[in-house]
Structure 1
Amino acid sequence: LMVAEKPMLADSIANLLSNGQARKRKGWNGVCSVSEYDGQFNGRNAKFKVTSTCGHVMSLDFPSKYNNWERVDPAELYSAPAVKIEANAKMKMNEFLASEAKTADILVLWLDCDKEGENICFEVGLNPMFKNRPDFMSDVYRAHFSAITEKDLKAAMKNLGRPDQNMALSVDARQELDLRIGCSFTRFQTKFNCKSSIKWASKKTKSTVISYGPCQTPTLGFCVTRHDQIVQFKPESYWVLKTTFSCDSQTFSPEWQRGRIFDAEIAKLFVDRIKKSHTGVVVDVSKKEARKERPCALNTVELMRVASSSLGLSPSTTMHVAESLYTQGYISYPRTETTAYPANFDLNGTLKILSGDRKWGSVVSQVLAEGIKRPKSGVDKGDHPPITPMRANTGGLSGDMARIYEYVSQHFVATLMKPCIYEVTTVKMMCGEEQFTIQGKNVVDPGFTAIMPWLGVEEECSVPKSLQQVGAKIELQDAQIQARETTPPGYLTEAELITLMEKHGIGTDASIPVHINTITQRNYVTVESGRRLVPTRLGQCLVRGYWKVDPELVLPTMRAELEEQLNLVASGKADYHDVKNHALKMFEMKF
């Protein structure tokens, strides 16, 4: 019996491993399908059955007697028993998997190759149908793969491993911590809300449950911090000098070296000095070659950032679309922190997939003809390879799926191209003892920006030739001071929030979109134009309340340290019980 994480994935695995010979039937639970075919396993003839779960089979919860918010003190939730229950009882997933396993000798798990997938491996493997067999884990195997292609799946089938219990335990720990901490604080906040002035804020946002989460609340904290910076900002007046000069009847407006002046009288003195001098001279001309480096290989966080800032898609929408592209075999596994291609990665083969692309085929063909450039060195996090295209889009994709696929393809090709080379000409001039500069940029070789034009270098107006010689005379045509004010920062964009979460270790590549979606769904923030996140009155009240009571509950430091400890559990370097119990004790004391 082979079990995948989603029905569509199971269908693809069965079809590719059976060379299109699998017979498909509907599972009796009405949710999953079952594909069957004959083949070989470890050199022996075997009958294969391929089916799936629909994500997690089990979830963690408290026994029903603890679900009464009025009778149960939230503090009890730190010591109350926690039990595994079916994630969706209507699917009857446990019963379904057990019935399909009755005649199976071997279990091969094709769950997603990340921590959550590893956890689901044990949810399936510990099904009573398997668990009741003596030494049952010796008959449980784990397939490791990063793309839904025949090559990847058959290679995974030849190199089966075993489920990693340490990775699964790190997820168990996170689930229990989030349950106990989240429920205790959420119940307290919600009940407190019924008695306090914060009730007005929640009514305004139509929220009934005031939720807390060890990741969710620090995420909101970033948004409220930026809001307060904007509200508390006091604009400061400053003055800039704007000049127009001419040289051989050509006019130009250089930049004043001093930039901003925060005293109007001093700014006026400089203007008078320049007007009195009236003429100036070129004192230096320099030309240098500059380059804009191509990107590293694409990981999940960068995909979410670009999709939000350039495509206007929320992180949760982006990952939903990317998952669909992955299950249909268009891109590799979209959840990865790695930005370096493996040494044995077939760069040429993947590039050839895109050579027939209607939009970018000519660029790809040119790259193949000239030879690919060694990719920029990135970071290997030891999880999945970077996100890359796996098959060509022959017109079957549209809407958001087509846009995400196109970006993944453009990014991949760009990593194999040359950097963008441009020439910078800088002319320095003196007038009235003040220095002015004019600069021009000319692209020599667009390099990777040919396929990522939005990252191209804007060619600035060429510096007049008459200026490009030391000693050239310039005539002042106009000089004036302009009054301006400093401006506050803008509200955080989703892309900026993702960067902050990654920097401070809040969430994982899989959970970042969930936390951002949660603070939006809970009406703690609203998404405004440009995908900027504006905190509501409720979101502000909540964060400011924690700042007064215990700032650590809203700052990112506690969760970041916990994530580090959970990663040590996943790698077998820390004990599951020690990490979980220490974190629970810390939050219980704060509660």
Structure 2
Amino acid sequence: MLQMSTRKGSTDIHEFDGMFLGFHAHFKVTSVIGHVFSVDFPATYQDWKVTDPFDLFLAPIVKSESNPKFRYLTSCFPFFFCSFSLVLMYVSVSYGPCQTPTLGFCVQRYLQINTFKPEKFWTLRPYIIQDGYELQLEWERNKLFEFDVATMFQQLVMEDGILEVTEISEKQESKSRPPGLNTVNLLKTLLASGYHKPKSGTDAGDHPPITPMRSATEDMLGKDAWKLYQYVCQHFLGTVSPDCKYLRTSVGFLIAGESFHCTGQHVTVEGFTSIMPWLAVSERRLPRFTKGEKIESAKVELYEGKTMPPDYLSESELISLMEKNGVGTDASIPVHINNICERNYVQVHAGRKLVPTSLGITLIRGYQCIDPDLCLPDIRSFIEQQITLVAKGQMDHSRVVLHVLQQFKQKYSYFVKKIENMDELFEAQFSPLADSGRTLSKCGKCLRYMKYISMQPSRLYCGTCEEVYYLPQKGTIKLYKELSCPLDNFELLIFSMPGPEGKSFPLCPYCYNSPPFEGVDTLFGAVKTGASGQLGKGAGMPCFLCPHPTCRHSLIAQGVCACPECSGTLVLDPVSAPKWRLYCNMCNCLVFLPQGAHRISTTRERCPECDSTILEVDFNKKTTPLDNGATLHVGCILCDELLHSLVEMKHGKSFSKRMGSRGRGRGAGRGRGRGGGKRVDPKMSFRDF
């Protein structure tokens, strides 16, 4: 017979001797209140002024009992995130493996709302009267987004006027009783009912399912506690009650070749819904119909609606997302939500809706522009999977620890190298520069206007997407005729360099900062800075370097011929009228075209002798060199004697620096993300393991 001793305390500890895997063992059994152990770095690593953050990834961690009075002798799995979280704190960036994805869910919903573009739609709603009931029928097409097409269908249905019953089906269905109540589901129910999280208290752990232990009255418990007790009792009785069963009836109709239907529901067994009426199936009785029966339509409405964006996340919805993605535990989920509220990343608005603040949005956007993995629950999920495998004996504990620490060290190294991207977002959002910027062009992602900040380095800032787009420096920027890039829908800009001989060229803000084609080895303004050799701010790909095959602003469309002084291409300056000219997209060569012409444009034709692009010139009537007062002339500036005699080559100003050899630009580049060969991921993504 086993002899057991019990030591009383905050939680009782029971001790006894027994056998474990064939060996004698001394057992200690207890329950857990919160975390058994806390972890930290040793005292020698606590001074941030003298500690290299990279050393922390190899530093030991000190485990101490959260409450020494418990005197636990169990072991605790190392806390992988300790190093990474504290190291990011060192660089003044708040990060937590559960906190950051929690905030990420709120920001993601915010962006969905702010980038949502509502659309009008139309749907047909025929009405019939049967046995004294007026029924609205549902259209199988649901909705249409073309008014003319919807009107055509309405006219066809109204002209027919007779609906035929084509199908009658009945199906027995059931609504399953709820599972046992745990703290997460209880918390979601309380928040959905308008209850607030407690401001303080002690976490007593979670032992699902939550069940009533004794009978009580409202006088014994008080008003709020009685409501909670009543819900727990109802939920418990619901879990041991039968499922709710109901009969679903569907009737199909046909008129003018269009299908409609109506649906009814009749409860046959209330089951658990008699105890939990808020989960009851709504009754909807249908009159009797006979297959083949023909019924005259009473009226046919054409309903106009508009698509609506989703609402901000409620606390209950956020808890569901966290639970689904494995972020936090039953006990810690409310803590993570409370943290993002207390740190002013999120504010709770009417209806318990969580609306991220500018600080929270900028923080998440900063992480996303450096390493999107940090905002996703994938990292936490990966670690939990590894811990589970260790618990099952399928993975070696020490190898998992070493592997994960290497991943986090690599991610931290990448983060530090790109930290200036975070600085740029915070500067654009919270510095006075953001207020002084003027509205200039539309963002292709959210279709909202971006602000142009002229102070060096000049840039565009989208307050909705929290994105910064650097522009060419030392020149003027204007909107280019409200034209848009065919790749990303960003509005095009025209950059003009100073002086009478300065270049002017169009650019897409997004393509300029993120060239969409591989193989573009020349960047405008590409001056390397610092020992790292990184490109200076403002270097990018204007349209005159873009190899897009069909865009009318690209090098393919506007390039005319090879530059006589380098391996670049002479490109038509689109806004140089009436002093039309070509400029080289690599060097400072300028070629002046016939002056005073009304219009000069490139064509799709190429010269059969030199392969240059054929130009179309519309001369001024008063100064035309053509016979009989003709004004329109088409030809090659190299091979056509008239045009060649009217061009003049001259040098102008240019800050372009060639970074490598390149042909005339007629070869097709490759799109974003299609690079050949295996690449090393500098961020060490957890997703592909």
- Same fold by TM-score, threshold 0.5 exceeded? yes
After superposing the two structures, state which structure 1 stretch, 290-299 or 564-573, moved more.
Answer: 564-573
Q: Distance in 2 between matches of 1:269 and 1:505?
A: 50
Question: Which residue of 1 is the match for residue 375 of structure 2?
Answer: 554
Question: Which residue of 1 is the match for residue 182 of structure 2?
Answer: 299
The answer to whether residue 184 in structure 2 is matched with residue 286 in structure 1 is no
Any conservation in 1 of the 2:206–2:331 contact (CA below 8 Å)? no
Any conservation in 1 of the 2:327–2:333 contact (CA below 8 Å)? yes
The one-letter code of the counterpart of 2:406 is: K
What is the deviation of 1:53?
Answer: 10
Question: Which residue of 2 is the match for residue 564 of structure 1?
Answer: 385
Q: Distance in 2 between matches of 1:250 and 1:86?
A: 70
The equivalent position to 2:212 in structure 1, one of 359, 367, 389, is: 389
The answer to whether residue 485 in structure 2 is matched with residue 485 in structure 1 is no
What is the deviation of 1:252?
Answer: 2.3
The answer to whether residue 252 in structure 2 is matched with residue 273 in structure 1 is no
Question: Which residue of 1 is the match for residue 76 of structure 2?
Answer: 169
Cα distance change, pair 5–534 in 1 and its aligned pair in 2 (3 A): farther
Which residues in structure 2 correspond to 1:130-529 (within 5 Å)? Answer: 165=74, 168-170=75-77, 173-174=78-79, 177-188=80-91, 190=92, 210-247=93-130, 250-310=133-193, 312-314=195-197, 323=204, 334-336=206-208, 386-395=209-218, 396-460=220-284, 462-465=285-288, 468-529=289-350
The one-letter code of the counterpart of 1:179 is: C
Q: Distance in 1 between matches of 2:405 and 2:343?
A: 25
Any conservation in 1 of the 2:34–2:203 contact (CA below 8 Å)? no
Cα distance change, pair 86–459 in 1 and its aligned pair in 2 (3 A): closer
Q: What is the SS of the residue equivalent to 1:483? A: strand
Any conservation in 2 of the 1:3–1:53 contact (CA below 8 Å)? no
Q: What is the SS of the residue equivalent to 1:297? A: coil
Question: Which residue of 1 is the match for residue 39 of structure 2?
Answer: 60
Q: What is the SS of the residue equivalent to 1:261? A: coil
Higher RCO, 1 or 2 (CA under 8 Å, sep at least 6)? Answer: 1
What is the deviation of 1:239?
Answer: 0.5
Cα distance change, pair 61–4 in 1 and its aligned pair in 2 (3 A): farther
The answer to whether residue 459 in structure 2 is matched with residue 587 in structure 1 is no
Cα distance change, pair 5–300 in 1 and its aligned pair in 2 (3 A): farther
Q: Distance in 1 between matches of 2:298 and 2:72?
A: 82
Cα distance change, pair 297–304 in 1 and its aligned pair in 2 (3 A): same
Q: Distance in 2 between matches of 1:247 and 1:54?
A: 63
The answer to whether residue 57 in structure 2 is matched with residue 78 in structure 1 is yes
Question: Which residue of 2 is the match for residue 132 of structure 1?
Answer: none
Q: What is the SS of the residue equivalent to 2:76? A: helix
Q: Distance in 2 between matches of 1:456 and 1:54?
A: 37
Q: Runs of 5+ in structure 2 lacking a partner?
A: 18-29, 413-689
What is the deviation of 1:310?
Answer: 3.7
Q: Distance in 1 between matches of 2:36 and 2:258?
A: 72
What is the deviation of 1:474?
Answer: 2.3
The one-letter code of the counterpart of 1:387 is: I
The one-letter code of the counterpart of 1:406 is: Q
Cα distance change, pair 434–450 in 1 and its aligned pair in 2 (3 A): same
What is the deviation of 1:2?
Answer: 4.3
Q: Distance in 2 between matches of 1:547 and 1:4?
A: 50
Q: Distance in 2 between matches of 1:579 and 1:403?
A: 47
The one-letter code of the counterpart of 2:206 is: P
Any conservation in 2 of the 1:335–1:510 contact (CA below 8 Å)? no
Task: Report the number of matched residues.
Answer: 395
Cα distance change, pair 216–553 in 1 and its aligned pair in 2 (3 A): same
Q: Distance in 1 between matches of 2:32 and 2:373?
A: 38
Structure with larger Rg? 2
Cα distance change, pair 568–251 in 1 and its aligned pair in 2 (3 A): closer
Q: What is the SS of the residue equivalent to 1:289? A: strand
* Higher helix content, 1 or 2: 1
Cα distance change, pair 307–578 in 1 and its aligned pair in 2 (3 A): farther
Cα distance change, pair 532–231 in 1 and its aligned pair in 2 (3 A): same
Q: Distance in 1 between matches of 2:361 and 2:275?
A: 42
Q: Distance in 1 between matches of 2:120 and 2:241?
A: 46
The one-letter code of the counterpart of 1:282 is: V
Q: Distance in 2 between matches of 1:450 and 1:248?
A: 30
Q: Distance in 2 between matches of 1:475 and 1:52?
A: 70
What is the deviation of 1:496?
Answer: 2.6
Deviation readout 1:162-189 (Å, 9 max, x if unpaired): xxx4xx322xx12xx333221111221x
Q: Distance in 1 between matches of 2:166 and 2:233?
A: 47
The one-letter code of the counterpart of 1:211 is: S
Q: Runs of 5+ in structure 1 lacking a partner?
A: 18-39, 43-50, 88-92, 98-119, 127-164, 191-209, 324-332, 337-385
Q: Distance in 2 between matches of 1:213 and 1:514?
A: 12
* Higher strand content, 1 or 2: 2
After superposing the two structures, state which structure 1 stretch, 258-267 or 472-481, moved more.
Answer: 472-481
Q: Distance in 2 between matches of 1:401 and 1:69?
A: 47
What is the deviation of 1:275?
Answer: 1.3
Any conservation in 2 of the 1:61–1:82 contact (CA below 8 Å)? yes
Q: What is the SS of the residue equivalent to 1:260? A: coil
What is the deviation of 1:410?
Answer: 1.9
What is the deviation of 1:311?
Answer: 5.1
Q: Distance in 1 between matches of 2:117 and 2:32?
A: 56
Cα distance change, pair 82–485 in 1 and its aligned pair in 2 (3 A): same
The one-letter code of the counterpart of 1:580 is: V
Any conservation in 2 of the 1:169–1:570 contact (CA below 8 Å)? no
Q: What is the SS of the residue equivalent to 1:169? A: coil
Q: Distance in 2 between matches of 1:4 and 1:75?
A: 44
Q: Distance in 1 between matches of 2:129 and 2:36?
A: 75
Any conservation in 2 of the 1:186–1:212 contact (CA below 8 Å)? yes
Q: What TM-score, normalized by structure 1, do the two folds share?
A: 0.60
Q: Distance in 1 between matches of 2:167 and 2:401?
A: 65
Q: What is the SS of the residue equivalent to 1:563? A: helix
Q: Distance in 1 between matches of 2:321 and 2:398?
A: 30
Cα distance change, pair 568–479 in 1 and its aligned pair in 2 (3 A): same
Q: Distance in 1 between matches of 2:139 and 2:58?
A: 67
The one-letter code of the counterpart of 2:277 is: P
